[in-house]
A = this chain, B = another copy of it.
Amino acid sequence: MTSPLVLSIDAMGGDHAPDIVVDGAAAFLKGRRRPVKFLLHGDEARIAPLVEKHPGLAAVCEIRHTAGEVDMSAKPSEAVRRSKGSSMWNAVHAVKDGEAHVAVSAGNTGALMAISKVILRMKKGVHRPAIAASWPVPQGYCTVLDVGANVECTPAQLVEFAIMGEAFHRVARGVTRPTVGILNVGSEQMKGDETVRAADALLRAANLDMDYRGYVEGNDISAGTTDVVVTDGFTGNIALKAAEGTARLLAGWMREAFTSSLIAKVGAALLSVSGLKVLKSRMDPRSVNGGVFLGLNGVVVKSHGGTDSVGFATSLRIALELADSRFLTEIEQNLSRLAEVEAEEIADASEQETA
Contact = CB atoms under 8 A, between A and B. Distances in A.
A135 to B, nearest CB: 9
A334 interface: no
Contacts of A273: 263-264, 267
A208 to B, nearest CB: 24
A1 interface: no
A287 interface: no
A258 B223 CA distance: 20
Interface in A252-282: 252-254, 256-258, 260-261, 263-264, 266-276, 278-279, 282
A217 interface: yes
Contacts of A137: 249
A239 interface: yes
A218 B193 contact: no
A257 B235 contact: no
Contacts of A218: 237-245
Given A192-B151, A234-B193, A239-B242, A248 B219 contact: yes
A240 B235 CA distance: 11
A41 to B, nearest CB: 24
Contacts of A278: 257
Contact of A246 (B151, B246, B263, B264): B246
A258 to B, nearest CB: 7
Interface of A: 73, 75, 109-110, 136-138, 148, 151-152, 183-186, 188, 190-193, 217-223, 231, 233-235, 237-250, 252-254, 256-258, 260-261, 263-264, 266-276, 278-279, 282-283
